Amino acid sequence: MTISFAVTSRELRRLKVPHHLRREPLSTPQVASESDTSLSDVANLCIKHSALTPDTTARSAPTDVLRLSHHGFDSSQGHVNHVVRGRISGLEKLNKLLNVARDEDVIFHASGTFAILLRNPFGLPFVDRIQARLRAIVRLQGFLEALHRQKLQCEKISLSRIEFRYAQDLTAEIDFVEGRPIRFTVDRENPHRRMDVFLTNLLNDRNNGFAKFCLILPITLPLLRIFDVLERNTPPPSQPTSQSPPPPFVHPRNVDWYRLKYSNPPCSFDFRLRRSRDAIRWHLEDSTPNPGGNGPGAAAASRRPDQAQLPNAPQRDPNLVAALKKLFRSQGTDWIGLRTGIAAGVDGVEDAVTKLDEIVRSFANMNPVATMPDNAAVVESQPKGTGKKQSANGKVANQREIVVLD
């Protein structure tokens, strides 16, 4: 114990961290071996918390004393066991979430206190490991606060991983090992699999990235669910299965921007998330290249000269144009037409997309199958001025700011 404290004290002096040795009653529950439970007091090395981790102190507002105590020697491994006890303001409010914490080296208490078990080779300094664990606790606290605000249920918690449920049948896993990018994992059937690159980029955004991540998941889920239905080519009730046209393709542009593209009939629609006053709504807009046309896509095309001047853009079916105009002037549950598109709430976007899909596929030409011109696909795949970069797995990651989360 004397040697371990001497090594630690030398390291703290090098870092200019105030500390002193004190004997105190063993009254606080902590991680300890059974042989220590009979002790009436214990020698603690009291360390000034704010000086040890100044980068986290302002945010977490910890009580300013950490207590380091010795808890035995493991001769089989050559390790000395130490326990670091402390308190961080705000942890007590997360007690219900921390009840599912499963980290054998850390214990959280309802009062906001914690105890960290450190196994260290005899005679070697380990102050850097204490600092890393304290930063991990503060980081975990920030993640849990974001989950708590969105009323998301935690399934598993450790200092480097969180698994939480954000829908009745959907969970997500976040890995946040210090020194590495945060990783996002969902199963292959999860609707959010198609935007994992964008969500990972959002998670690693230092400007409240995790809070934005927790907010965007439930907002995007209804739209992504209906996209899955469309891609499975489920025919609308008005159309026999045998005459079902090819399914549309979904092109994610960012977490708040998607393009739905049909090859038969050739047309495309953009879905963008926007904030209108205090409401968050999906805005659907016809983005089909339509040079010189007067249909629903003409307004969008006029704002994108690169698409409006495509020489091989197909002529729109006048009946399809008329049907889209009628849709864009109608309304339904939690969605309303805007003459040039649709504004839909989170709960109404599935119904709006379903109605759009029924109209588009009812105008499919089954013999032969129409296709979108090659030059249109090239232009649409790289919209200008979006600051995109190509990811390792071939998906396009957009770095522009998310409008809805300002």
The sign of the torsion formed by the CA atoms of 24, 26, 29, 34 equals positive
Is the per-residue pLDDT at 101 higher than 60?
yes
Per-residue pLDDT averaged across 374-401, rounded? 42
Cα dihedral: 53, 57, 63, 68 (round 10) = -10
Tell me the per-residue pLDDT of 153-166, one tens digit each, with 9 for 90 and over: 888 888 889 999 99
pLDDT at 359: 94
Which of the pair, 225 or 238, is modelled with greater confidence? 225
pLDDT at 64: 79
Per-residue pLDDT averaged across 373-380, rounded? 42
Q: Any idea which of 126-135, 221-230, 237-246, 251-260 has the lowest mean pLDDT?
A: 237-246
CA of residue 346 relative to chain centroid, distance: 18
Which of the pair, 295 or 249, is modelled with greater confidence? 249
pLDDT at 76: 74
Per-residue pLDDT averaged across 268-294, rounded? 83
Most confident of 11-15, 50-54, 300-304: 11-15
| CB-based burial label for 104 (10 Å; 0-12, 13-18, 19+) | exposed
Distance between CA 359 and CA 230 in Å, rounded?
A: 13
Tell me the per-residue pLDDT of 282-331, one tens digit each, with 9 for 90 and over: 999 999 876 445 545 555 544 443 444 445 556 778 999 999 999 999 99
Find residue 165's DSSP bridge partners. 153, 171
- In 3D space, the residue among 179, 185, 343, 188 whose CA is nearest the CA of residue 275 turns out to be 343
Token pair for 247: 């399914």
Which of the pair, 77 or 59, is modelled with greater confidence? 77
Confidence of residue 92 (pLDDT cuts 50, 70, 90): confident
Tell me the per-residue pLDDT of 206-221, one tens digit each, with 9 for 90 and over: 888 999 999 999 999 9
Q: Any idea which of 91-105, 150-164, 190-204, 335-349 has the lowest mean pLDDT?
A: 91-105
Confidence of residue 245 (pLDDT cuts 50, 70, 90): confident
Find residue 172's DSSP bridge partners. 164
pLDDT at 165: 93
| CB-based burial label for 381 (10 Å; 0-12, 13-18, 19+) | exposed
CB distance 80 to 50 below 8 Å: no
Q: What percent of the chain has pLDDT over 70?
A: 74
pLDDT at 384: 40
Cα dihedral: 361, 362, 367, 368 (round 10) = -40
pLDDT at 390: 42
Which of the pair, 276 or 263, is modelled with greater confidence? 263
Confidence of residue 240 (pLDDT cuts 50, 70, 90): low
CB distance 342 to 336 below 8 Å: yes
CB distance 380 to 323 below 8 Å: no
- In 3D space, the residue among 194, 197, 158, 195 whose CA is nearest the CA of residue 181 turns out to be 197
pLDDT at 201: 94
Q: What is the DSSP string of 292-306?
A: T--STTHHHHHT-HH
Most confident of 8-17, 32-41, 71-80, 302-311: 8-17
Confidence of residue 380 (pLDDT cuts 50, 70, 90): very low
Is the per-residue pLDDT at 338 higher than 90?
yes
Which of the pair, 35 or 151, is modelled with greater confidence? 151
Is the per-residue pLDDT at 54 higher than 50?
yes
- In 3D space, the residue among 87, 90, 79 whose CA is nearest the CA of residue 28 turns out to be 87
pLDDT at 248: 92
Q: What is the pTM of this model?
A: 0.75
Confidence of residue 274 (pLDDT cuts 50, 70, 90): very high
Is the per-residue pLDDT at 237 higher than 60?
no
Distance between CA 112 and CA 92 in Å, rounded?
A: 4
How far CA 78 is from CA of 45, 47, 378, 396, in Å, comes to: 22, 25, 63, 50
The beta strands (E) that lie in 113-265 are given as 113-121, 153-157, 161-167, 170-175, 183-185, 249-254, 257-263
Which of the pair, 243 or 310, is modelled with greater confidence? 243
Q: What is the DSSP string of 139-164?
A: HHHHHHHHHHHTTPEEEEE-SSEEEE
Average pLDDT along the chain:
79
